[in-house]
Structure 1
Amino acid sequence: MRSVRWGVLSRCVAAAVGGYALATTLSAAIAALVAAGLGAMARADAVLVAMQLSFVVYVGAVMWAFAARSAARAWLGLGLPALLSALVARALL
C-alpha cells in the first residue's frame, strides 16, 4: 500500500513539475524555430502562438503522467522531450 502512495505522489509531481518543464521548454523551442525563419511570423506573434500551444502541451503532459505504465516511465516520458526541446531552444536563442 505504501509503494502505491509513493507512485501516485511521484506521478503528481511528474505531472506538475515535468509538465511545466516540458510546456515551457517546448514553447521556447517553437518560438525560436518560428522566429528563426521556419515561419513567416514576427517574433512577438511566434511567442504568442507558442505560449498558446503550451497550454495544450501541459494538459497532454498531465494526462501522460497518469497514463504511463509506471512512475519512472512518466518521468522519462516527460524529461527526455523537455531536455531535447531545451537544447533546441538554447541552440536557437
Structure 2
Amino acid sequence: MTLSFAAHSGLSLLSRLLAAVLGGYALASALALWLGAVLPAPRAEAVLAGIQWSFAAHVAAVIWAFSPVSPSRVWGGLLTLVALLLAASVVLGPAGGG
C-alpha cells in the first residue's frame, strides 16, 4: 500500500515539476508573443515589454504549479491560458504594435 502511494506521490510531483517548467515556459512565451502583438508601441518596445512581463508570468506559473490545487487543474489552467493567448495573438497579431 505504501509503495503505490509513494509512486503516486512521485508522479504528482513530476507532473507539478513539468507544469512549472514546461507549462510556465509555454505560458511565458505565449504572453510575450501576445503582448508583442497587441501593445500600442513601436514593435521593439512592445516585444521588450512582452518579454519582461513573461518573467513574471513564469514565476506565477511555478508558484501555481506547487500550490495545493490538483495537478490536472494546474495543467488545464495553463493549457487554456496558452491556447487563448496564442489564438488572440494570431487573430490580433497583424493589427497590433506600432
Q: Normalised by the size of structure 2, how large is the TM-score?
A: 0.85
Partner-residue secondary structure (3-state), 1:67 = coil
- The answer to whether 1:6 aligns with 2:11 is yes
Shift of 1:68: 4.4
Is this contact kept in 2: 1:68–1:74, CA < 8 A?
no
Aligned to 2:50: 50
Q: Cα–Cα, structure 1 residues 58 and 44, in superposed 2: closer, same or farther, change >3 Å? A: same
State how far apart, in whole Å, the 1-side matches of 2:25 and 2:69 are. 21
Give the counterpart letter for 1:71 in structure 2. Answer: P
Task: Give percent identity, aligned residues only.
Answer: 39
Query: Using the alignment, how far apart are the partners of 1:67 and 1:83 within structure 2?
Result: 22
Moved over 3 A (4+): none
Of structures 1 and 2, the one with the larger relative CO (CA 8 A, separation 6+) is 1
Segments of structure 1 that go 5 or more residues without pairing to the other structure are none
Partner of 2:30: 25
- Taking the aligned partners of 1:16 and 1:54, their CA distance within structure 2 comes to 13
Match of residue 62 from structure 2: 62
Structure 2 gaps of 5+ residues are: 1-5, 94-98
* Secondary structure at 1:78 match in 2: helix
The Cα RMSD (Å) is 0.9
State the number of aligned residues. 88
Length-normalised TM-score, structure 1: 0.89
